[in-house]
Amino acid sequence: MKKILFILFTTLFLSTPVHAVQKGGAGHDNPEASLPFDTYDVNFTTEGDLPSPIPATMLLLAGDNDSDNDTLDLQDGDVAGQVLYIVASSGVDFNDTITISMSDTTCTNCVPINFYNVGEMSSLIWSGSSWRVLTSPGAGRLDYNTWTPGLSFAGDTTGIAYSDRNGSYIRIGTFALIIGYIQLSNKGSDNGNVRVSLPFTAYTNDVSGNVPVLITTVNLSGTGAIRASLNAGNSYFSIIDDDGNMDDADCANNTQIRFSLICKIVE
């Protein structure tokens, strides 16, 4: 029996129809005539209008190059055992990402599916009632970038000013090496434990309170060893000492914090 493969080319424009194409097989007048595909075109009115169930084997995602992140609503699969490949084919980068939303379907123990670069791919399998992610696009991702760390007191930043701050990271798959430096010129007026922001969120299932953080400080008072605590699901670490959380009273207007860490991150 001839196998029919459906390939959906999904162009993510909010105001432009999403275009789905089933490729044609031998005998069709198209550049991929040697492939065993039949061809048809379907226009969708919004980016969430994928057919349900999805009769597809592959979704090719094309970003809209508007420097604004997009979301695609995945739908239920067609038959149990169906494997779906989702590929970022064009117009996808760190300023124009694509997130696969499971709000219109179900997914068992899902990890986030976010596309940051052309060529990234994710694969899923449909059980008959739920998707399961086989591979995530972040598995082979390599990225180096800069970012700007910030300090807060229990999340509040009133009056905080800096004389210098900078950061950089190297991301390999779902792990990141993060380096940063902060020098205050004014600690502001808020109260609470000292927190330093991070460019990523720590992966929930792998962090249980203390990720090793190399940290050095100047003009930060503490009892015993000053160290950091990074909790599951947080995008910041807290600075602690032998007495527990350090707070605004331990900081000065010229406090300096230099740090580096490696952790598993949420994509």
**DSSP notation for 10-53:** EE--SSS-EEEEEPP-TTSSSTTTTSS---EEEEESSTT---SS
Res 267: pLDDT: 65
Look at strands 142-147 and 175-187 and give their pairing. unpaired
DSSP 206: G
Q: Do domains 7-137 and 143-264 have the same CATH topology?
A: no
- What CATH class has 7-137? mainly beta
Domain positions in the chain = 7-137, 143-264
pLDDT tens-place values along the chain, 267 residues long: 333 333 343 333 333 333 444 443 333 344 333 333 322 222 323 444 677 888 778 887 877 766 777 788 888 988 999 888 888 877 777 777 888 889 889 998 787 788 888 888 888 999 999 999 888 886 667 778 899 999 999 999 999 999 999 999 988 877 889 999 999 999 999 999 999 999 988 876 554 455 678 889 999 988 888 888 888 788 999 999 888 889 999 999 999 999 998 888 876
Res 158: pLDDT: 96
Residue 173 dihedral angles phi and psi, to the nearest 5°: 65, -125
- Please determine, looking at this structure, whether the domain spanning 143-264 carries the CATH number 2.60.40: yes
Res 30: pLDDT: 40
Furthest CA-CA distance within the chain:
78
